[in-house]
Structure 1
Amino acid sequence: MKQSILITGGGGFIGSNLCEYFLDKGHRVTCLDNFATGHLYNITPFLDNPNFTLLHGDIRNEEDCHKAAQGMDYVLHQAALGSVPRSINDPITTNAVNISGFLNMLVASRDAGVKRFVYAASSSTYGDSENLPKVEDVIGKPLSPYAITKYVNELYAEIFSKTYGLETIGLRYFNVFGRRQDPNGAYAAVIPLFVKKLMNHESPVINGDGTNSRDFTYIDNVIQMNELALFTENPLAINTVYNTAFGNRTSLNDLMEALKKYLSLFDHEIAAVKTTYGPTRAGDIPHSLASIEKAKNLLGYTPQYSMQQGLKKAVDWYWENLKNKK
């Protein structure tokens, strides 16, 4: 059945992949974005699709949010200012987008009678908790302004579910990577940043000694989780949060070796590029590993791509799309 789905931040990495997926499924998709971090070229292929609508707008503007939410069956809220270092450098803007903007979208969704509000939460919510794997109901204290904003999102979503009856589901993303993730800018994520450096035969910089580990999660696993959260009919599965990950962790040193391995299939000189080590970043946690049992049990989540499988596909995409821009 064709549904009307609003995707905030639809011009971004995750948002544009969600736009593409749900358009391919035959749904009506509206993208709301101010392109502060997203890119128009991510969604240019969809502009001629009669089921696609682009709204230039800002979630900090209440009018934009209400206009976007009108007539929507579902909201996939991806719009946010990511990056721990960005939030440390500019906590006020991060707060305005991630908390005030989030609240604006909740209110707009409530007022428009949206069936369900699925939002991008974050593994940063686990903060200083040292428990591994990370289980949804055991969190620590936030370690950055960004982490605070994402935890507040969960608190607001819970209140809107209890007070107004708006169905909400939060997806705590764990280091998502894949096609369309931007390698440029001061706050580029680690995988596209490393790929770009290696393709240019420049030394990538690992923060710390490289033993820090992450649960790197391929974009197609994240798309699966969003679809399951959007359409689940299990009453026990709504008004809660889920880890969105594969359930394995990889050290930064091992990540670097895998990237060199896959990229050197295209350019053998990449295998010899040296890695540089720098200071540990403020606000970083040493290790991250998700338990995905809750998502498996309540949503039927079965991630299809391991880190290695996803990395191979991502590298192929980057080589095809960056090789002429080196």
Structure 2
Amino acid sequence: MLPGKKTNLEPAQQQPGFTLLEGDIRDYETCVKAAEGCEFVFHQAALGSVPRSIIDPMTTTDVNIGGFVKVLHAAKEAGVKRVVYAASSSTYGDHPDLPKVEHKIGNALSPYAITKYVDELFAKNFSDIYGIETIGLRYFNVFGRRQDPNGAYAAVIPKFVSSLINGEQIVINGDGSYSRDFTYIDNVIQANLLAAAKPSAALKQDLARYYEGIGESYTAGKAISEVFNVAFGERTTLLELAQILKDNLSAFDPAISQAEFKHGGNRNGDIPHSLASINKAGTVLGYRPEFSVRDGLKLACNWYWDSRQ
């Protein structure tokens, strides 16, 4: 079920103190071993894909909720100070407002979206009851080097890139007008490090300042539990995305400039448009995304071309 590859970890394995523990977050003993001796836990594991969750909601729920609770409980038992976890922009569901702000969500449109929102509820509950700090980062369409283009549920960018490199026609869901806030992986890494590093006292102070700015009061519970959008703050349509990728890859192979697109049906559970407000993350965490969508797409295309087989 994993979209990544073990070989991606080879550079990290050369670092002193690195330990690779292989397991399943649904196995509590594995979670216990992973949390031992840790002050911070970065929880990035999930069974992704909206379409997959519609086909198999039971497994998605088992992994994304059951596994998440096991991670939280193991972290609490190990005395972990803070868990920074991957939340999702799918939580916004059918809420019509753009840009998306953290305190306004709509009805979930897929089992996957439900699981990610339930994770946020569990995180706050663990903070309130057990005093463990939790910070959820609502990712918006993350992309970048090493993202696997293969498989039925591959993300749109590596899938488009793979099709272009292999001379295959790009299939765009719908008329191509749907838009997303595509977010380069290095921006996501920055947000994770900031979410872990910010001292609790400063975090509370800046949260109070943020909520005062939007006209709401902030009352800290037993421990901090917050969510933040992690994005670039810019919309790109699927047609624009396909054209940017084609332009980038044409620098390596001019024949790619002649690639054509075809349109398929819209996917169940997809929202038409997604755009994040990153004001909260900027105000509270100091998040400043360094890579624009175009910059990130160029870097990703360079990596895919160099890594083609």
Match of 1:183 among 128, 142, 149: 149
Deviation at 1:209, TM superposition (A): 0.3
CA distance in 2, matches of 1:51, 1:216: 33
Instruction: Tell me the equivalent position of 1:87.
Output: 53
CA distance in 1, matches of 2:146, 2:238: 21
For 1:258-290, what per-residue CA distance to the aligned partner results, in whole angstroms no more than 9, with x for missing partners? 001100000011011110100000000000000
Identity of matched residues, %: 61
Instruction: Tell me the equivalent position of 1:235.
Output: 203
Instruction: Tell me the equivalent position of 1:136.
Output: 102
Deviation at 1:49, TM superposition (A): 2.5
Instruction: Tell me the equivalent position of 1:284.
Output: 270
Match of 1:264 among 250, 259, 265: 250
Instruction: Tell me the equivalent position of 2:305.
Output: 319
The answer for unaligned runs of 5 or more in structure 1 is 1-34
CA distance in 2, matches of 1:204, 1:74: 41
Deviation at 1:42, TM superposition (A): 1.1
Instruction: Tell me the equivalent position of 2:282.
Output: 296
CA distance in 1, matches of 2:3, 2:159: 15
For 1:166-210, what per-residue CA distance to the aligned partner results, in whole angstroms no more than 9, with x for missing partners? 000000000000011110100000000000000011101100000
Other structure's SS at 1:242 match: strand
Aligned-CA RMSD value: 0.9
CA distance in 2, matches of 1:149, 1:39: 25
Instruction: Tell me the equivalent position of 2:181.
Output: 215
Deviation at 1:239, TM superposition (A): 1.4
Match of 1:307 among 282, 290, 293: 293
Counterpart residue type for residue 83 of structure 1: S
- Structure of higher RCO (CA pairs closer than 8 Å, 6+ residues apart): 2
CA distance in 1, matches of 2:166, 2:251: 15
For 1:5-34, what per-residue CA distance to the aligned partner results, in whole angstroms no more than 9, with x for missing partners? xxxxxxxxxxxxxxxxxxxxxxxxxxxxxx
Other structure's SS at 1:53 match: coil
Instruction: Tell me the equivalent position of 1:249.
Output: 235
For 1:116-152, what per-residue CA distance to the aligned partner results, in whole angstroms no more than 9, with x for missing partners? 1000000000001111000000000100000000000
Other structure's SS at 1:52 match: coil
Deviation at 1:37, TM superposition (A): 3.0
TM-score after normalising by structure 2: 0.92
Give 1:73-84 correspondences, 5 Å limit: 73-84=39-50
For 1:190-238, what per-residue CA distance to the aligned partner results, in whole angstroms no more than 9, with x for missing partners? 0000000000111011000000000000001000000000111123254
Match of 1:195 among 137, 151, 161: 161
Deviation at 1:89, TM superposition (A): 1.1
Deviation at 1:44, TM superposition (A): 2.2
CA distance in 1, matches of 2:55, 2:89: 20
